[in-house]
Amino acid sequence: MSSLIPAVVIEDFRERAHEALADKQLRNNFRNAMDSLMTKRAVSFSNAHEREHLRALGNAVRARALSKLPDLLERLEANLTRNGVQVHWAETVEQANDIVLSIARRRAAKQVIKGKSMVSEEMEMNHVLGAQGIECLESDMGEYIVQLDNEKPSHIIMPAIHKNAGQVADLFHNKLGVEYTKDVDQLIQIGRRVLRQKFFEADIGVSGVNFAVAETGTLLLVENEGNGRMSTTVPPVHIAVTGIEKVVENLRDVVPLVSLLTRSALGQPITTYVNMISGPRKPGELDGPEEVHLVLLDNGRSQAFADSELRQTLNCIRCGACMNHCPVYTRIGGHAYGEVYPGPIGAIITPHMVGLGKVPDHPSASSLCGACGEVCPVKIPIPALLRRLREENVKSPDAVPRIMRGQGSKYSRKERLMWNLWAKLNSSPALYRVFVKAATRLRGLTPNNVGPWTQNHSAPKPAARSLHDMAREHMAKKSGASR
Amino acid sequence: MSELFYNAVPNATRVAPPLPTPRHYPAHKPRKVYLFGTCVVDLFFPEAGMDAIHLIEREGIEVDYPQGQSCCGQPAYTSGYTDQAREVARAQLALFAEDYPVVVPSGSCAGMLREHYEDLFKDEPDTLKKVHALAERTFELTEFLLFVCKVQFKDSGAPIKVALHTSCSARREMNTHLHGREMLAQLGNVERIDHSHESECCGFGGTFSVRLPDISGAMVADKTRALIETGAHQVLTADCGCLMNINGSLEKQQKALRGQHLASFLWQRTGGAQ
């Protein structure tokens, strides 16, 4: 069974975090951006009573959708098909890429323009299509910026949030050869001009999906730049890619979810564009794509779905509020996580996608302060799920039932033994008394260097007398006095 | 506005789950309470535990400190060692036989008793009854003083500026984040100064602080900087985990500022320890 223990545990999360922490510019960029986003969210939910009702409702809508997920997915497929949308199922990212590639080949596509899609990041679609000679261009301004700099998104909503205007100015000047400007409006205009032409040249437009509505066969996409609408209407083929959890039962369910999403993400009452895509161009219509495809990707989601506690991970509507409010994410940024989804939601969803063995430190990268759970619009108990993943992480790799791929990636017999001893000590009053007595008597012997603790703190020194001692004496005196 | 949303979903979910109601407190002071001191207080800040006892006794309430107590089990629980946490939790459950309130001078340990023992014993219906009864009568010290004892403090100290750090568990599990403020507001000579990013974690997080010391260290560095920037003479907190983290960091940085448990401060300012 030792083959179940991952042979190579990639332990570089700590290194990346270490480097990010030393990068003052990066720290400032994130602190400022996250402060602004937290304020915007707070302002947009100024009525706490309404906010809490809405969150409870969002949670109920998502829980209901997940409770009948297989049924809803079938209804979604049937209704999309009826609308003329071609539905494809992919268990793995490889299968999803094959589906996209086969459509691209059939259409002899050379250029793809993309709206924003985190699922396409899961698939590494740009890379895969690029290797086949198909240019894949990001049209969301943030995604465009990170693509131009050969980077990956550092935030699921604001992919280039790790850069400030000056850094984007340098990038545009160097890569696009335009005159240097730090003016944000001008920078956006430069980007838009480049992209505008590309929309007309593209053979395929790719987008994500915010909500897939089973009842009507509608793909709902919210965005602020208009690039989503352009990507999904101008090229002759539109391919939408999404995770299987994004389905909701009916259009009415979408109302509270959109409100929660835009307010939690950016403090907006609603986005500038709300696209509701329900099929290709019909005879007699003047615009719209000739073909519309939906690729439904599993990529580990069904593993989370199978466990009633972990299933709550799939409530996520990808607003990013948990990362905006996370003191860890705010300090190390998104790239340190090294995966598509950073921050608290990344820490609970990535292990299902890539296996715990590849991201053993992610569930530990939290003080469990609870800020993520407090703001989650669909009330995912993120701290509880982080703790649960820690439990899966320290289990024996052989323990059954095996709920997660990469279970036991932090299993250590030594550490388990240590906790067993700790448990004995703290559940036996006699042993505990001996321990405390020894610790207080021998306080002078406390070493000055106690591993990682003394990296940030002076050495801890037990008190001269324990509370047990002091309280016992106090109570004896009191009862003596009262007698 | 929100009517729109209720009407937007079918019957099954139209009635959103009720909002958590504010905690109901007993109308009268109990005759006697148990103090659950917590392991960090026991070993590192026993004076905070004693001052909590003094504050409660001054209200005419007898305090029992069961000598069999140790730790609430939280370090193992948050590290993923659930069985070990359960073993320790079971030992604590056996200590509070009478129906007296259990007062805890720490938000996170009170939160463990009140919120997480339920998870530990979810498969043991009989134990669960005990767990729920315990949760019902577990109070964080500040809420016990403020809402059960309805304390009215008279300040007898010299003018002082303080900064108050609230633990994340007090804020998000126990909802006692405003209680410290309210009690400090009763002290006429005490000026409480807000610090930047007050609601943010100090970086302790139990074993998090030793598992990922780089990240935890960056958090406590920011927290201590914000506290120092207030110009306060003293830091106060009602959680000794945070206190150990913040004081340890301040001492390592060789700063003069130090933190103290709120119980000690309240006791000293109101005529105690004289």
pLDDT band at B273 (very low <50, low <70, confident <90, very high): low
- Going B150 to B154 to B159 to B160, the CA torsion angle's sign is negative
Are the Cβ atoms of B46 and A370 closer than 8 angstroms? no
Smallest CA–CA distance from A55 into chain B, residue: B16
The Cα A229–Cα A289 span in angstroms is: 11
Q: Provide the percentage of residues in chain A whose pLDDT is more than 90.
A: 93
A300: left (phi over 0), alpha (psi -120 to 50) or beta: left
Question: Which of residues 106 through 145 in chain B touch A, CB cutoff 8 A?
Answer: 119
Write the pLDDT tens digit of every residue in A15-57. 999 999 999 999 999 999 999 999 999 999 999 989 999 999 9
Are the Cβ atoms of B78 and A420 closer than 8 angstroms? no
Domain ranges of chain B: 32-147, 153-269
**Predicted pLDDT of residue A244:** 98
Report which of A349, A239, A231, A249 is spatially closest to residue A300, judged by C-alpha positions: A349
The Cα A2–Cα A387 span in angstroms is: 25
The Cα B222–Cα A330 span in angstroms is: 12
> Largest Cα–Cα distance of chain B, in whole Å?
65
The Cα A103–Cα B193 span in angstroms is: 63
Beta-bridge partner residues of B139: B103
Residue A373 half-sphere exposure toward CB, CA atoms < 13 A: 21
- Going A318 to A319 to A322 to A327, the CA torsion angle's sign is positive
Instruction: Check: CB of residue B262 under 8 Å from CB of residue B237.
Output: yes
Q: Is the pLDDT of residue B204 over 60?
A: yes
Distance separating the N- and C-terminal Cα atoms of chain B: 57
Instruction: Check: CB of residue B219 under 8 Å from CB of residue B202.
Output: yes
Task: Please write down the long-range contacts of A392-395, taking CB distance under 8 Å and 24 or more positions apart.
Answer: A392/A351, A392/A356, A392/B80, A393/A356, A393/A360, A393/A363, A393/A364, A393/B80, A394/B79, A394/B80, A394/B81
Beta-bridge partner residues of B192: B162
Instruction: Check: CB of residue A21 under 8 Å from CB of residue A331.
Output: yes
Domain ranges of chain A: 1-44+315-411, 60-299, 431-482
ipTM computed for the complex: 0.94
- Strand order of the β-sheet with B62-64 is B62-64, B32-35, B102-104, B138-140
Write the pLDDT tens digit of every residue in B205-224. 999 999 999 999 999 999 99
Structure tokens at A298: 């599993």
Are the Cβ atoms of A456 and B42 closer than 8 angstroms? no
Write the pLDDT tens digit of every residue in B87-121. 999 999 999 999 999 999 999 999 999 999 999 99
User: Does B170 touch chain A if contact means CB atoms closer than 8 Å?
Assistant: no
Instruction: Check: CB of residue A412 under 8 Å from CB of residue A394.
Output: yes
| CATH of range B153-269; options 1.20.58.220, 3.40.50.11810, 3.30.1330.10, 3.40.190.90 | 3.40.50.11810
**Predicted pLDDT of residue B18:** 52
Tell the burial category of B249 from Cβ atoms under 10 Å away from its Cβ (0-12, 13-18, 19+): buried
Are the Cβ atoms of A56 and B17 closer than 8 angstroms? yes
Write the pLDDT tens digit of every residue in B169-193. 999 999 998 999 999 999 999 999 9
| CATH of range A60-299; options 3.40.50.10420, 1.10.357.10, 3.40.50.970, 3.20.20.60 | 3.40.50.10420
The whole-model pTM stands at 0.95
Cis before B26? omega within 30: no
Q: Each residue of A285-305: b (16+ CB within 10 Å) or e?
A: eeebbebbbbbbbbbbbebbb
**Predicted pLDDT of residue B272:** 83
pLDDT band at A451 (very low <50, low <70, confident <90, very high): confident
Write the pLDDT tens digit of every residue in A124-151. 999 999 999 999 999 999 999 999 999 9
DSSP for residue B190: E
- Provide the 10 A C-beta neighbour count for residue B76: 25
Q: For residue B210, list chain A residues with Cβ-Cβ distance below 8 A.
A: 451-453
Chain B: nearest CA to A56, how far in angstroms? 6
Tell the burial category of B125 from Cβ atoms under 10 Å away from its Cβ (0-12, 13-18, 19+): exposed
Q: Is the pLDDT of residue B237 over 80?
A: yes
Q: Provide the percentage of residues in chain B whose pLDDT is more than 90.
A: 89
Q: Which of B7, B40, B123, B201 to mutate to test the interface with A (most CBs of A within 10 A)?
A: B201
